[in-house]
């Protein structure tokens, strides 16, 4: 009986539209709701826009004067090759996501929210987008950015172009960068996936 009650309580803790299903790289948690497209647009603009998105531009927008220290920290933790994989793959992720979204009739809004120039507010919006009810999941954040279906297709495309190992690097480094930003800005970092 106690196990049954514990299971009910754990199930109740998932946020709306987040379900207890496995994700490819981040443990359980899949977002099945409507994408947060104004946040997605803010992230794309902060990274240089749809046609010139660059990972380092986004990191600088999010981390401000701590961007160089963040990149150095990521290289110390993961190694230069894995960080290079992250830097290389993120622009492909944005381009591929937008291409798939357009083909599916999903258009970005005309107005970003939050302001793409406000690194703290954008970091918070992205951090909040990754919340599951059981902590942060980078895959839930990416699901919320474009939808679970599009995120899943993009991962398949990454695997085909770069390989599964580099896809895993991309997710791991992005996850760490989001946790680092949450720590720097003082967001609740509780448990994570």
For 139-151, the pLDDT digits (tens) are: 999 999 999 999 9
- 7 DSSP β-pair partners: none
Across all residues in the chain, what is the average pLDDT?
Answer: 91
Residue with more model confidence, 88 or 24 = 88
What's the pLDDT score for residue 21? Answer: 80
Contacts of residue 96, Cβ cutoff 8 Å, sequence gap at least 6: 153, 154, 157, 158
What's the pLDDT score for residue 192? Answer: 44
What's the pLDDT score for residue 28? Answer: 78
Average pLDDT score over residue span 61-75? 96
Exposed/middle/buried for residue 8 (C-beta within 10 Å: 0-12, 13-18, 19+): exposed
C-alpha dihedral, 65 to 66 to 72 to 74, nearest 10°: -140
Pairing state between β 28-31 and 18-22? antiparallel
What's the pLDDT score for residue 37? Answer: 97
> What is the value of pTM for the model shown?
0.89
Average pLDDT score over residue span 118-144? 95
Give the Cα separation of 144 and 161 in Å (integer): 23
Domain ranges within the chain, ordered by starting residue: 36-185
């Amino acid at each position: 009986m106690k196990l049954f009650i514990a299971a009910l309580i754990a199930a109740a803790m998932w946020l709306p539209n987040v379900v207890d299903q496995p994700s490819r790289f981040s443990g359980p948690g899949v977002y099945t709701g409507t994408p947060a497209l104004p946040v997605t647009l803010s992230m794309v603009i902060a990274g240089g826009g749809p046609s010139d998105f660059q990972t380092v531009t986004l990191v600088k927008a999010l981390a401000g004067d701590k961007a160089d220290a963040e990149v150095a920290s990521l290289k110390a933790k993961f190694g230069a090759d894995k960080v290079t994989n992250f830097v290389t793959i993120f622009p492909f992720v944005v381009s591929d996501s937008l291409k798939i979204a357009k083909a599916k009739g999903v258009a970005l809004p005309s107005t970003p929210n939050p302001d793409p120039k406000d690194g703290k507010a954008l970091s918070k919006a992205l951090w909040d987008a990754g919340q599951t009810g059981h902590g942060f999941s980078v895959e839930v954040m990416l699901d919320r950015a474009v939808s679970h279906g599009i995120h899943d297709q993009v991962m398949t495309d990454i695997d085909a172009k770069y390989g599964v190992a580099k896809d895993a690097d991309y997710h791991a480094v992005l996850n760490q960068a989001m946790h680092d930003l949450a720590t720097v800005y003082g967001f609740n970092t509780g448990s994570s996936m």
